[in-house]
């Protein structure tokens, strides 16, 4: 859940928008606050909603609670280095998820 969108101001030198405060996002599973998220898009009866997660573990923990026609998962970035969002953590979460279903 997005609690606060990032705010921007124009740079006085080049007029490009510069972020002055980052977004504040709350994980839809554990409730932690963080600046960037893994988003899933859920379509149910023609209505699209978005859920934000702080890690692959939280995303896969929440997944069994979702009833939907379509779920669009985030892309997997093998260069990602943020804790909770790495490719290795994705595969670990998938293996753990497989044992739960």
**pLDDT > 90? residue 82:** no
Please state the pTM of the whole predicted model.
Answer: 0.74
Confidence band for 95, pLDDT divided at 50, 70 and 90:
confident
User: Residue 99: which region, alpha, beta or left (left: phi > 0; alpha: psi -120 to 50)?
Assistant: alpha
The full 3-state SS of 35-70, as one line of letters, equals CCCEEEEEEECCEEEEEEECCHHHHHHHHHHCCCCE
Q: What is the pLDDT of residues 30-54, one digit of tens each?
A: 998 887 888 999 998 889 999 999 9
């Amino acid at each position: 859940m997005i609690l606060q969108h990032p705010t921007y101001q124009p740079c006085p030198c080049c007029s490009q928008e510069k972020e002055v405060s980052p977004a504040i996002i709350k994980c839809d599973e554990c409730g932690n606050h963080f600046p960037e998220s893994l988003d899933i898009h859920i379509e149910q009866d023609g209505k699209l909603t978005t859920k934000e997660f702080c890690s692959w573990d939280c995303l896969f923990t929440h997944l069994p609670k979702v009833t939907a026609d379509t779920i669009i998962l985030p892309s997997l970035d093998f260069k990602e280095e943020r804790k909770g969002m790495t490719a290795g953590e994705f595969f670990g979460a998938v293996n753990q998820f497989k044992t739960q279903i």
